[in-house]
Structure 1
Amino acid sequence: MIKSQLEIIEQAQLYLNQVSQEDYTAIISPNFISSAGSHIRHIIDHYLALISGLHNNEIDYDKRGRGTSLELHPALAIDKLNEISDWINHLSERQLNTLLPLKTEVSMTSKNVQTSIARELVFAGSHAVHHYAMIAQISFAQTKALPQTFGLAPATVSYMRAR
């Protein structure tokens, strides 16, 4: 579990280490309405919701840092991802299994469910890969090459290896 999360975050770090600030912040309209930087910031927001949730006894994915400097500066995003990796690396089994309320607008009438840090890490990782797929398309439009597996779900990569 921990190793898989660190591998997912490492994909973003590798991307961030090679992307220019110009490409990171570019919005290629009309095909895209957001930059790669906004996708990375959104991914980070979800991991920060888990960190905050463990401290505040409630995970809230609706609290987001839209328009922050993380969207503009790859180096700041790398620093934040390093902090998140350190946090994940130091999670205890007890913390992973901690049950917490999850507050999120899943519908107009229901906003709370019970969950665990472990379950939400699985979600955050899957969510990150989903956004990596969008970043891959943005990079493709910028004619920049990324690893072939960037933005592919682990199950998809396993399927491709088995063929």
Structure 2
Amino acid sequence: MLIQNVKNNLSENIELLRQLTNDEFTQKNPELSNATIGEHMRHIIELFGCLLENYDCGVINYDDRKRDLILQTDKNEAINRIEKYLHEIDKTNKTLSLAHNCFSPVELLPTNYFRELVYNLEHSIHHQALIKVALHRLPHIRISNSFGVAPSTLEYRRQCAQ
């Protein structure tokens, strides 16, 4: 179920990107502190990339990512990378280490692939919610009702509707 939810989320991002022009993708949005949809999408893509590209070695470090600017300036490159990750996401759970250096020298914390998938899913949803704010300026863009909404919120709404 987790893998399918992640795939659905990545597919929502592709569906959005296919509707945007490259100008809309790279347009600065005052609602996003002058960030672009592309910058937010790059951030989502790069964190998934950190997880997938370091799965085999077993050490994930989200702080040490490439920050590939082409992913925020060319929507087709962003789509291609997400499609690549869609094909790579279905991996078995295994123990990993999360490296971070937020408040100290690098520290390794125990984690696992599925836990990091949950983190990436929640992270993507968070950035989708921000992107959704910018989409109010683009009424021709159609997104799903679940875009930028946490699964727990969707479930709560479903229960309230019954």
After TM superposition, the score normalised by the length of structure 1 is 0.87
- Distance 1:30-1:47 versus aligned 2 partners, 3 A rule: closer
- The residue that corresponds to 2:147 in the other structure is 150
Q: 1:128 is aligned with what amino acid? A: S
Select the residue among 125, 136, 143 that pairs with 1:140: 136
Q: Which amino acid aligns with 1:103?
A: A
Provide closer, same or farther for how the CA distance between residues 147 and 3 of structure 1 changes in structure 2, counting only shifts above 3 A. Answer: closer
* Aligned match of 2:86: 85
The equivalent of 2:67 in structure 1 is: 66
| Cα 1:73–1:34 shift into 2, 3 Å | same
**Letter aligned with residue 6 of structure 2:** Q
- Give the equivalent residue in structure 1 for 2:126: 130
The offset of 1:30, in angstroms, is: 6.4
Q: Deviations over 1:12-41 (max 9, x none)?
A: 011111111111111123652311111111
Alignment size in residue pairs: 158
CA RMSD of aligned residues (A): 1.8
TM superposition shift of 1:106 = 4.2
Residues 34-72 of structure 1: CA distance to partner in whole angstroms, max 9, x if unpaired?
A: 111111110111111112221332101012233510101
Pairing of 1:83-122 with structure 2 (within 5 A): 83-89=84-90, 91=91, 93=92, 96=93, 98-108=94-104, 111-122=107-118
Structure 1 residue runs of 5 or longer lacking an equivalent are none
One-letter code of the match for 1:46?
A: L
User: C-alpha separation between the residues in 1 aligned to 2:68 and 2:115?
Assistant: 28
Q: 1:3 to 1:30 in 2, by over 3 A?
A: closer
Contact 2:12 2:144 (8 Å CA) reproduced:
no
Q: For the structure 1 residues 108 and 143, does the alpha-carbon distance in structure 2 shift closer, same or farther, using more than 3 Å as the test?
A: farther
Cα separation, 2, equivalents of 1:15 and 1:87: 21
Which ranges in structure 2 are unaligned for 5 or more consecutive residues?
Answer: none
Distance in 1, Cα, partners of 2:77 & 2:68: 13
